[in-house]
Amino acid sequence: MLKYDLGKNESADWLIAETDFDIDHQGKCEAIFCQGNGYLGQRAALEEKYVGQTRDLLVTGTFNRFDAQEVCELPNLPDVTNLDLRLDGAYFAMDRGRTEQYSRVMDLRGGEVTRSLIWTRPDGKRFRLVFERFVSLADEHLLGIRAAVTPLDGDCEATLDSGIDGRVTCTGSQHFHEGDKRMIDGRFLRMVSVTTQSAVACCLHTAFRYFLDGQEAEPRLWPVIDRRYLGVKAVFRVPRGQTLTIEKLTCVTTARDLQYDGRPDAAEAAAADGLAAIRSAWEKGYGVLAKESRAAWAAFWEKADIRVGSRNPFDQLLVRFALYHLNIMVKKDDPRVGIGAKGLTGEGYKGHSFWDTEIFILPYFILTDPKAARSLLAYRYKGLYGARKKAKENGFEGAMYPWEAAWIDDGEVTPLWGSADIVTGKPIPILTGMIEQHITADVAFGVQLYYAVTGDQDFMDRNGYEILIDTARFWASRFTWDEARGAYVILDVIGPDEYKEHVDNNAYTNYMAVNNMKLALQAMDDLDRRGGETRERLNAQFDFAACRRDIAAVMEKAYLPKPGADGIVPQFDGYFDLKAIDLTPYKTAGQVGAIYRDYNNEQICTFQVHKQADTLVLMLLMDDLFPKDVKVRNYYFYEARTLHDSSLSKSTHCVLAADLGEDATAYRFFEGCGGIDLGPNMGTSDMGVHTASMGGIWQCAVYGFGGVRVVGHELHISPRLPQAWDRLSFPLVWRGQPLRVTVEGRRAAVENRGASPVEVILKGEKTVLAAGETAER
């Protein structure tokens, strides 16, 4: 059971607590309590072993393919969280004996997790146990665990078995060779394992320190080496009332780390650097290292915190929960890696990146951390190799981005088969990798938004223009001529609403594709006007005259679905021929995908029912595409037919409802976003948190209630707080200048905390803010 500290004290709105242990529902807290720093993610499986645990240590970029029949995935590195304790010979586990005063708390302020309890053995002897963990934000390679054991009813012999355990898999797939295992200087454990296909050397160094009532202790100690395991056995005598403290520190390095990129000795360097790092960490100790990490987190919160004044204090906690996970889901300085759909919190979606990044997560980084945003877009630039390969393999020109992306040269990595069909019993083919193609236009949209917000010409010259032009070349070859319509059309796709397959002229896809082509034409015009080396390089690569001719010819006659007499934009051709069914049982089921218990994909495709209404996503992204009355009609029409079975859906509906003045509805959808990972359903996050939902929560607060929009190259701010909120304050970065927006009731203020003037449209009025100036409306 989850509990939130929402009291009026210094810890209010920062703490998430698990108040009792349920062996059948371990996955949720393992995911939402996950600790990380963008380089690595340590899932919060408990230190002692239980059936049903998932003990994940994931490091960004280390993708491996188990065999030729499977797609690549992030491998689960050897486990270092294991602490097997025997107290007077009895193995400590909470499903044995009796557990009282149990609490496990995630403190978002410093990214630390603390578990405390009193455990009574079956023979009645009691012990107090406290476990603490951190993953360092100050040094991305370091993580630590500290355990304290106090016997309450007499002296105790305590035995610890712990180390580096390579006997882990990714849902059954073993990604590492046996590995090299050794103990160095009688103190430092080293395991170097190499992935089976990608040949990435992963180096783990672990060391222990022991204390009895604060004084360093030397136990009886034996090394333990077994297949895929290296550890120690330590035995202590602990007097009644005294506390045995065990510190376990680990350093993780891999040959794929950014600092070794291109080095032939990467594996050797990673091992040597890891050893030096664990020596230094051991000298400092857990307390100093945890303090350094807390200081790094404090610096993050000082810059990034969003402050909410709400009648429901959970709202503040929810926003901070989202910010916490946004901060740990990506290595912000490595352009070779993206963001997985579960970040580094679990094995769901194999660590692959989707369109989620550009549409739901990237806006957060663009408007708050442009350097990180540039790195994420550079990842897409480096992925042009795979995009061009996919286009060529499918008979198209240009760059066709993979639906699922992993390492920068892996290309398309979407699995071919999914779960069983409820009707036929056969595996369901996964078509998204073949015909969900809007991802290509989504990447271009990300480039467009980044340039509008930052004005980063260097990025456009190095990466952005090439992405825009080559993706537009794909769309020019993807459209086909429809003689009856006298227009170019896009046939046989899946839009964002994945409950509809093999559709023609999906509104979202067509409009986004045309936008992509328009951006490419503007890019070539801009390059012609500016001239220079970038223009010469790209003109030699693409031949602007031919490229402009081909793209313009298609764009000018591209078919774009228009609102009908009732104002509704058809989601795709033939949409209104679909059957309307009663969706009440599925809207109220409290379970994602409940409709699949009754129907299969083929049947669902014949109904007016949506996983998410992609036409509404279009209206959110292109704010000025349709007049307000059309938005209103489409919002109500599609919302009634949407099950919100996608974790991406509710944030879109929240922002649009806020736009339309539907205060109560917008707030209800905001609460729904919180329920995805922090709600009472204990099975929602077993495979990891929903990273796009974290970005969606930020969009609810900043786009929806903060009223922020980027229209063209202008920043618009028109706040509209829900009735439950009386205050909202959030940071933005516009054209390199940090801003702080504060909304109190109907009044909004924008403070320019930068060194240069900026222009904003505040509540419809254009305002130029000098450095240090605040405007209020």
Tell whether the model's pLDDT for residue 426 goes beyond 90.
Answer: no
Closest CA to 71 of 364, 347, 426: 347
Residue 87: which region, alpha, beta or left (left: phi > 0; alpha: psi -120 to 50)? beta
- Residue 420: CB atoms within 10 Å: 12
Q: So what's the pLDDT on residue 593?
A: 84
Question: What's the pLDDT score for residue 588?
Answer: 82
Structural tokens at position 531? 């001239």
Q: Do 568 and 637 contact (CB within 8 A), yes or no?
A: yes
Is the pLDDT reported for residue 86 higher than 80? yes
Tally of CB atoms within 10 A around 70: 16
The pLDDT tens digits for 157-214 are: 999 999 999 999 999 999 999 989 999 999 999 999 999 999 999 999 999 999 999 9
Tell me the pLDDT band of 5, cut-offs 50, 70 and 90. Answer: low
Q: What pLDDT score does 283 carry? A: 97
Instruction: Classify burial at 448, counting beta carbons within 10 Å of its beta carbon; exposed 0-12, middle 13-18, buried 19 or more.
Output: buried
Identify the bridge partners of residue 215 per DSSP, sorted by sequence position.
Answer: 212
For residue 423, what pLDDT is reported? 77
User: Which pLDDT tens digit goes with each residue over 309-350?
Assistant: 999 999 999 999 999 999 999 999 999 999 999 999 999 999
Determine what percent of the chain is predicted with pLDDT higher than 90: 91
pLDDT-derived band of residue 590, with 50, 70 and 90 as boundaries?
A: confident
d(CA 260, CA 252): 14
Kindly state the average pLDDT of the residues 534-555. Answer: 97
Say yes or no to pLDDT of 10 above 70: no
Q: Following DSSP, what letter does each residue of 202-262 receive, concatenated?
A: EEEEEEEEEEETTEE---EEEEEEETTEEEEEEEEEE-TT--EEEEEEEEEEETTSGGGTT
Task: For 243-274, write each residue's pLDDT tens digit.
Answer: 999 999 999 999 999 999 999 999 999 999 99
d(CA 140, CA 436): 35
Quick: pLDDT tens for 305-315. 999 999 999 99
Looking at residue 680, its pLDDT comes to: 85
Is the pLDDT reported for residue 425 higher than 60?
Answer: yes
At residue 681, the pLDDT reads 81
Supply the pLDDT for residue 69. Answer: 87
* Whole-number pLDDT of residue 667: 97
Give me the pLDDT at residue 185, please. 94
pLDDT in tens, 670-682: 999 999 999 888 8
Least confidently predicted of 443-452, 460-469, 642-651: 642-651
Residue-level pLDDT at 211: 98
From the list 694, 707, 692, 715, the residue with the least C-alpha distance to 767 is: 715
pLDDT of residue 417: 87
Binned at pLDDT 50, 70 and 90, residue 9 comes out as: low
pLDDT of residue 380: 98
- Mind listing the pLDDT tens digit for each residue in 58-76? 999 999 999 988 999 999 9
What 3-state DSSP class applies to 27? Answer: helix
The residues carrying an active-site annotation are 498
Average pLDDT, the chain: 95
Quickly state the pLDDT bin for 418 (edges 50, 70, 90): confident
**Residue 3 in this model has a pLDDT that exceeds 70:** no
Q: What is the three-state SS of 308-354?
A: EEECCCHHHHHHHHHHHHHHHCCCCCCCCCCCCCCCCCCCHHHHCEC
* pTM score: 0.96
Look at residue 592 and tell me whether its pLDDT is greater than 60.
yes
pLDDT > 70 in the chain, percent: 98
Burial class (CB in 10 A: 0-12, 13-18, 19+), 83: buried
The pLDDT of residue 11: 67
Average pLDDT over residues 592-609: 89
CA distance 95 to 331: 37
> pLDDT-based confidence at 613, cuts 50/70/90?
confident
What pLDDT, on the 0 to 100 scale, is given for residue 27?
Answer: 95
Query: What is the per-residue pLDDT for 525?
Result: 97
